[in-house]
């Protein structure tokens, strides 16, 4: 019994170690990529989000300010990390931040149009969370993690002079589309049974849904984004500690 438990624990440790070393290699590959360059910390692109972090999260700001921050292309992130649709990245394992200058479009329906400084702010917020809560690579609760980073982008964007409606349209509709879709099951409405579908089937069903329900998806995601702002984008006093308690890493 005991030895089984130990075997399981050591198996998990080995898997984590393997994940970490693979991930570190991918990150190094991205750092070495010909499109990747260190960002100048005297640049406006860097200063604005860093000032926001200093003001809003003074305890973590110094650690965040020491990180290496790179600019690269979306295609380089996708190639090196074997991922898709990444406009930016914070590695919880190596503490490097990457932002791309050519954020890929989320879809023809809902574009992610965040500016590079907004993407950088988002990734810095992940770093804040990492320094506050530690690096748990299993990250069971990625939803809370993203809710935190997207939610705390809202005051930053307001300070740039944007209204909540503009913020919802510009930065949050893509993210909030899944929230909207949790409330309305378009797959079922079209007669699809997700449990019985292959990946290719799902992709083709999804493109049918996007065509048929383009307006509903847009309106629903906008509404979900406005609700998200009302819930997660509130002013400072009441927000931080309860947010981190809710993260439960
Ligand atoms: Zn994120």
Q: Separation of 146 CA from ligand 1 center, angstroms?
A: 5
Beta partners for residue 72, in sequence order: 100
Q: Which residues surround ligand 1, an ion (CB under 5 A)?
A: 149
Average pLDDT over residues 181-199: 90
Residue 4 in any domain: the answer is no
155 CA to centre of own chain: 17
Residue 12 in any domain: the answer is no
Q: Separation of 4 CA from ligand 1 center, angstroms?
A: 37
Tell me the residue range of the domain where 48 lies.
25-247
Q: Separation of 3 CA from ligand 1 center, angstroms?
A: 39
Residue 115 in any domain: the answer is yes
Q: Residue 125 contacts by C-beta under 8 Å, 6 or more apart in sequence? A: 53, 148, 149, 152, 153
Q: Is the pLDDT of residue 239 over 50?
A: no
Q: Is the pLDDT of residue 40 over 60?
A: yes
- pLDDT band at 235; cut points 50, 70, 90: low
Residue 5 in any domain: the answer is no
Q: Is the pLDDT of residue 192 over 70?
A: yes
Q: Separation of 104 CA from ligand 1 center, angstroms?
A: 15
Q: Separation of 246 CA from ligand 1 center, angstroms?
A: 17
Residue 205 in any domain: the answer is yes
- Number of helices and strands (H, E) in the chain? 12, 4
Average pLDDT over residues 85-93: 82
Residue 132 in any domain: the answer is yes
- The region of weakest confidence among 54-58, 93-97, 100-104 is 100-104
What are the tens digits of pLDDT across the range 141-172? 666 888 889 999 999 999 999 999 999 988 89
Task: Give the total number of structural domains in the chain.
Answer: 1
Q: Which two tokens stand for residue 193?
A: 């049974």
Residue 90 in any domain: the answer is yes
> Nearest Cα to 52, choosing from 39, 40, 65, 42?
65
Q: What is the DSSP string of 169-214?
A: IIIIHHHHHHHHHHHS-HHHHTT--GGG--HHHHHHHHHHHHHHTH
Question: What gap in Å lies between CA 148 and CA 129, rounded to an integer?
Answer: 8
Average pLDDT over residues 25-38: 95
Say what the pLDDT of residue 111 is: 54
Burial classification of residue 140, based on how many CB atoms lie within 10 Å of its CB (0-12 exposed, 13-18 middle, 19 or more buried): exposed
Residue 2 in any domain: the answer is no
pTM comes to 0.83
222 within 8 A of 157, measured Cβ to Cβ: no
């Amino acid at each position: 019994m005991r030895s089984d438990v130990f075997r399981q624990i050591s198996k998990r440790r080995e898997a984590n170690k393997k994940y970490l070393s693979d991930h570190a290699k991918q990150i190094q590959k991205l750092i070495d990529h010909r499109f990747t360059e260190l960002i100048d910390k005297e640049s406006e692109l860097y200063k604005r989000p860093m000032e926001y972090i200093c003001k809003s999260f003074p305890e973590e700001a110094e650690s965040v300010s020491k990180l290496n921050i790179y600019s690269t292309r979306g295609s380089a992130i996708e190639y090196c990390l074997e991922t898709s649709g990444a406009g930016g990245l914070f590695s919880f394992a190596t503490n490097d931040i990457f932002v791309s200058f050519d954020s890929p479009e989320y879809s023809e329906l809902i574009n992610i149009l965040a500016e590079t400084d907004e993407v950088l702010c988002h990734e810095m917020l992940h770093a804040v969370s990492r320094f506050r809560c530690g690096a748990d690579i299993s990250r069971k609760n990625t939803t809370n993690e993203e809710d935190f980073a997207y939610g705390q982008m809202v005051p930053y964007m307001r300070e740039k002079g944007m209204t909540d409606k503009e913020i919802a349209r510009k930065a949050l509709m893509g993210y909030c589309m899944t929230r909207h879709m949790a409330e309305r099951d378009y797959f079922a409405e079209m007669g699809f049974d997700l449990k019985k579908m292959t990946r290719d089937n799902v992709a083709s069903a999804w493109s049918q849904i996007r065509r048929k329900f383009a307006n509903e998806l847009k309106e629903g995601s906008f509404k979900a984004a406005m609700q998200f702002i009302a819930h997660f984008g509130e002013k400072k006093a009441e927000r931080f500690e309860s947010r981190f308690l809710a993260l439960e890493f």
